[in-house]
């Protein structure tokens, strides 16, 4: 009997119906023969540098010019490709924790942390705080056609900077008012601005209007809003987010044009909706070895889920705490692609890692992977199995069996009840 061992994470309320785990594994399907599928281990975290401030890495960002930007605690650093770093001059951030959103226009980068905004000169590396009565704070910042664009917290409004500048006019604002819900988040994608409300989403564009250039796109209105402002992310030429609407919350959506398309499964939704908090979710995306990943972390729940766009399958990412033995959220909190590498920042300290598929530990700690297959059934008939045979390619560690054709065959006799019982 061939067991469908390879598959995604899928555990339902009834464990007898479905109790599949897939932790730190993702599915690889042959493009030549789609029937051939395997589980690959997820990338390890190879430490590159440790920044000296306290707290976690709040954001990593690669501007159009110059060195990368890292926000660690209340400090901002510039990172070179050889992983040397330098703290910027001038102002420290007024906050020590929480998400930081960054956008740049090639000359300056703008950083926002919710209440405050900052401008970093990319040439002089001087950071200054935005002090302007027409700057209202923001959770998110984007850049479109020469304008920085911001959400105004706890309102339906958004506002823009001067053209290719960081000055502000109290009249340069508008509202996402197709529905009376508050504006939660925004994201610029393909020169369009997606405005995510609590229960609806609207899309705006640059119309060229000299009075106020950002106007609503006719017909681009979605009846699904956003449950977590920092869950919105770009991937695979579209937008992903954790949704909320008048019927509930906890579904992950992607945009198919201007139509929302559900990508979460019942199992993932069951898990997310069981968390005590979901509005703290943060997401980042990346592509590696032909796979496009949407990483969604829930800090309060201490869980990380990952959607693989290439095969529409979910898996978990976790870190096995060597002290407690507990499985925790993935170590990363943010990602940038810099120097030809996927670079992530640690959520609790100043470590910056290479997310390396050829590195098999989490900075020296064991990278533990788990897979449990679907429930096996033969109707009402009994099933007896005397052995379990799994083919696997050798990785790192002891040679446990002879190798034939690049594959190791491990025979597990008389343990089937322990694995599947």
DSSP-derived secondary structure for 255-295? EETTEEEE---HHHHHHHHTSS--TT-EEEEEEETTEEEEE
Domain boundaries, the chain: 41-372, 379-421
pLDDT for the residue 378: 76
Task: Give the tens place of pLDDT for each residue, 310-366.
Answer: 999 999 999 999 999 999 999 999 999 999 999 999 999 999 999 999 999 999 999
Residues 45 and 353 sit within 8 Å (Cβ to Cβ): yes
pLDDT for the residue 405: 42
Higher per-residue confidence, 13 vs 316: 316
- The pLDDT confidence band at residue 396, using thresholds 50, 70 and 90, is low
Is the pLDDT at 265 greater than 50, yes or no? yes
- The pLDDT confidence band at residue 395, using thresholds 50, 70 and 90, is low
pLDDT for the residue 421: 38
Q: What is the mean pLDDT of residues 131-153?
A: 97
Whether pTM exceeds 0.85: yes
Q: What is the mean pLDDT of residues 118-133?
A: 97
Higher per-residue confidence, 399 vs 293: 293
pLDDT for the residue 31: 87
Q: What is the mean pLDDT of residues 258-278?
A: 97
Least confident among 129-133, 138-142, 357-361: 357-361
Residues 69 and 102 sit within 8 Å (Cβ to Cβ): yes
pLDDT for the residue 386: 80
Average model confidence (pLDDT) across the chain: 91
Is the pLDDT at 30 greater than 50, yes or no? yes
Least confident among 50-54, 340-344, 385-389: 385-389
pLDDT for the residue 380: 77
- The pLDDT confidence band at residue 65, using thresholds 50, 70 and 90, is confident
CATH no. of 41-372: 2.130.10.10
- The pLDDT confidence band at residue 387, using thresholds 50, 70 and 90, is confident
Task: Give the tens place of pLDDT for each residue, 90-109.
Answer: 999 999 999 999 999 999 99
Percent helix / strand / coil, the chain, rounded to 5: 5, 50, 50
Helices (H), 119-249: none
What is the torsional sign of CA 150, 151, 156, 157?
A: negative
For the chain, what percent of residues have pLDDT higher than 70?
Answer: 93
Q: Which distant-in-sequence residues (6+ apart) come within 8 Å of 298 by Cβ?
A: 272, 275, 277, 278, 280, 281, 304, 305, 329
Q: Output DSSP code: residue 418.
A: H
Task: Give the tens place of pLDDT for each residue, 197-216.
Answer: 999 999 999 999 999 999 99
Residues 154 and 169 sit within 8 Å (Cβ to Cβ): no
Taking residue 363's Cβ as centre, other Cβ atoms within 10 Å add up to 16
């Amino acid at each position: 009997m061939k067991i469908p061992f390879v598959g995604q994470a899928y555990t339902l309320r009834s464990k007898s119906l479905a109790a599949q785990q897939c932790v730190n594994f993702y599915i690889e399907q042959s493009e030549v023969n789609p029937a051939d599928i395997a589980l690959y281990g997820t990338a390890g975290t190879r430490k590159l540098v440790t920044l000296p401030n306290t707290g976690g890495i709040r954001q990593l960002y690669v501007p159009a010019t110059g060195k990368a930007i890292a926000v660690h605690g209340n400090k901002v650093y510039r990172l070179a490709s050889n992983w040397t770093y330098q703290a910027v001059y001038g102002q420290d951030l007024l906050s020590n924790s929480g998400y930081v959103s960054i956008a740049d226009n090639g000359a300056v980068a703008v950083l926002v942390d919710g209440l405050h905004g900052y401008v970093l000169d990319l040439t002089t590396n001087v950071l200054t705080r935005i002090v302007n009565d027409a700057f209202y704070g923001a959770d998110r910042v984007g850049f479109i056609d020469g304008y920085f664009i911001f959400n105004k917290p706890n309102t339906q409004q958004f506002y823009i900077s001067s053209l290719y500048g960081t000055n502000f006019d109290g009249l340069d604002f508008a509202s996402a008012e197709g529905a009376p819900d508050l504006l939660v988040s925004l994201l610029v994608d393909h020169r369009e601005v997606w405005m995510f409300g609590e229960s609806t989403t609207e899309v705006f564009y640059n119309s060229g209007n000299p009075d106020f250039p950002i106007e609503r796109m006719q017909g681009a209105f979605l009846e699904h809003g956003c449950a977590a402002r920092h869950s919105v992310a770009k991937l695979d030429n579209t937008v992903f987010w954790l949704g909320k609407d008048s019927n509930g919350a906890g579904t992950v959506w992607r945009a198919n044009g201007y139509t929302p398309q559900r990508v979460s499964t019942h199992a993932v939704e069951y898990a997310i909706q069981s968390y005590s908090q979901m509005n703290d979710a943060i997401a980042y995306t990346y592509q590696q070895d032909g796979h496009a990943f949407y990483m969604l972390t829930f800090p309060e729940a201490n869980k990380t889920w990952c959607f693989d766009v290439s095969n529409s399958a979910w898996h978990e990412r976790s870190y096995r705490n060597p002290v407690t033995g507990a499985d925790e959220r993935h170590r990363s909190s943010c990602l940038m692609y810099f120097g030809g590498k996927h670079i992530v920042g640690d959520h609790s300290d100043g470590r910056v890692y290479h997310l390396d598929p050829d590195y098999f530990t989490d900075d020296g700690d064991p990278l533990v992977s788990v897979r449990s297959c679907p429930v096996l059934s033969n109707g009402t008939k009994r099933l007896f199995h005397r052995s379990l045979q799994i083919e696997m390619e050798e990785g790192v560690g002891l040679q446990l069996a002879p190798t034939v054709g690049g594959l190791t065959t491990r025979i597990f006799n008389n343990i089937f009840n322990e694995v599947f019982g």
